[in-house]
């Protein structure tokens, strides 16, 4: 099966119903995308499919053939740079396990809404669990990445 991952053509020999997460992690060795719950409840496995956040753990790889898949390894652009800078400056991660998914969702939000308010941030990020509970810092870092320092 032919895939487009982070702008590169990749070919993998897998069943069409294999979850995208396991193609990324096991077949392509791209372990930045994390396995959390396996049932689309925690957001740790979030990737972008044609720019939209998707849970890779419940996405059959056959459904993303000929579509643009972007993972944390290939995340690029002004919003991604701003998010990475803010995440570092504000010391957001603790254990770090959920953070790839948090960043994928945050960047997708900022591409959609340049200066989100707290309600828009909460709504967009509610699907990403953080057991270290870094939520207050994630919210602040998204405002900071949007150039909205408060």
Partner 1 sequence: MKQIGLLPLETYVRTAAEMAQWGRELPKGHGLGIAVHRSFVTYVATVVEVAVDGEGRLTIPGVWSVMDAGTVVNPRHAEAQLEGGTLFGLSNALFGEITAKRGEVVQANFPAWRVMRMNESPRKMEVRIVESDAPPGGVGEPGTPPAAPALANAIFAATGTRVRRLPIFAADRSDRIAKEVGR
Of residues 9, 17, 39, 150, which one binds partner 1 by CB under 8 A?
A: 39
Of residues 32, 38, 60, 74, which one binds partner 1 by CB under 8 A?
A: 38
Angle between the 78-89 and 99-112 helix axes, to the nearest 10 degrees? 130
- Residue 34 tokens read as 């994390």
Q: Applying CB under 8 A, does 118 fall inside the site for partner 1? A: yes
Site track 42-81 with partner 1 (rule: CB under 8 A), x = hit: x---------------------------------------
47 and 54 Cβ atoms separated by less than 8 Å? yes
CA 24 to chain centre: 13
What is the spatial distance between Cα 127 and Cα 30, in angstroms, rounded to a whole number? Answer: 22
Least Å distance between CB 67 and partner 1?
27
Q: What are the residues binding partner 1 (CB under 8 A)?
A: 37-39, 41-42, 91, 94, 118, 121-123, 125-139
């Amino acid at each position: 099966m032919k895939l487009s991952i982070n702008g590169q053509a990749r070919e993998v020999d897998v069943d069409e119903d294999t979850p995208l997460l396991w193609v990324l992690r096991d077949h392509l060795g791209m372990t930045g995308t994390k396995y959390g719950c396996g049932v689309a409840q925690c957001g740790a496995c979030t990737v972008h499919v044609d720019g939209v956040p998707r849970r890779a753990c419940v996405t059959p790889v056959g459904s993303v053939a000929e579509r643009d898949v972007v993972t944390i390894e290939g995340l690029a652009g002004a919003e991604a740079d701003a998010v990475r800078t803010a995440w570092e400056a504000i010391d957001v991660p603790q254990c770090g396990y959920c953070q790839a998914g948090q960043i994928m969702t945050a960047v997708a939000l900022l591409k959609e809404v340049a200066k989100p308010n707290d309600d828009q941030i909460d709504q967009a990020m509610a699907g990403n669990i953080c057991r270290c509970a870094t939520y207050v810092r994630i919210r602040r870092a998204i405002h900071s990445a949007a150039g909205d320092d408060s």
